[in-house]
Structure 1
Amino acid sequence: MIRVVALYKQPEDVDGFMRHYEEVHTPLVRKVPGLAGLEVTRITADAFGGEAPYFLMAVMTYPNRETFDAAMRSEENRAVAKDLMSFARGLVTVMVGEDVE
């Protein structure tokens, strides 16, 4: 399984950010071909008692490398990337991982 993890820092306008994320960005992500799952988590605390460095985490899953590669080349994914930079530039870190089991 391939996972794309997006970590978002605290936005200045939380309500505006979440409105765009839920009404515009998430529907675009769901259109990416081959997407097997999307989980969005609002970060509420740091486990060690400090301030959490992130506000939101999204994990998108793809069943295998071939499906993931095709998804990343799709027009739908280009739309996701364009939208992401329109509202989260400087706030988001995106990583790709592969299950090791």
Structure 2
Amino acid sequence: MAKLVVLYKTPADPAAFDAHYAATHIPLARKIPGLTRYEISTGPVATPQGPSPYHLAAVLSFDSFDALRAGLGSPEGRAAAEDVGNFAQAGADLLLFDTKDV
């Protein structure tokens, strides 16, 4: 299994971010080929020490790293990536990796 973790930094207008994310970005991202699971954080994104610089965390799962790369490279993946600039002006950190059960 492979994961894409997106950590969205806290925006100047969290309500506008949330509205766009829910109404526009989630529907775009759910169309990415190969996507098997899509999870987002609820409530504050914290660290063990307290608040973090992140507003929202998203975890997208794929069957393999190849499926993840193919999904992101697809027209649907590119559309979702291009949409990030429409609502995440504070920026986002992306992490891509394979996983295994231990």
Tell whether the structures are fold-level matches, with TM greater than 0.5: yes
Could you give the per-residue CA deviations for residues 20-50 of structure 1, whole angstroms, max 9, x where no partner exists? Answer: 00000000000011100000003523322x3
Contact 2:10–2:90 (CA<8 Å) still a contact in 1?
Answer: no
Aligned to 1:76: 76
Provide the TM-score with structure 1 as the length reference.
0.89
Which stretches of structure 1, 4 residues or more, deviate above 6 A after TM superposition?
none
1:51 and 1:74 mapped to 2: Cα distance? Answer: 35
AA paired with 1:12? A
Name the TM-score, length of structure 2 as normaliser. Answer: 0.88
| Structure 2: segments with no counterpart, 5+ residues | none
The equivalences for 1:1-101 within 5 A come to 1-44=1-44, 45-48=46-49, 50-101=50-101
**Quick one: distance in 1 between partners of 2:61 and 2:4?**
6
In 2: Cα distance, 1:79 partner to 1:90 partner: 19
Contact 1:3–1:98, Cα closer than 8 Å, also in 2: yes
Q: Secondary structure at the match of 1:18?
A: helix
* Greater percentage in strand: 2
Q: 1:61-82: CA deviations, max 9, x gaps?
A: 0001232222122100110011
Taking only the aligned residue pairs, the percentage that are identical comes to 35
Long gaps (5+) in structure 1:
none
Q: CA deviation at 1:100?
A: 3.6
Q: Secondary structure at the match of 1:36?
A: strand
The 2-side partners of 1:98 and 1:43 are apart by 27
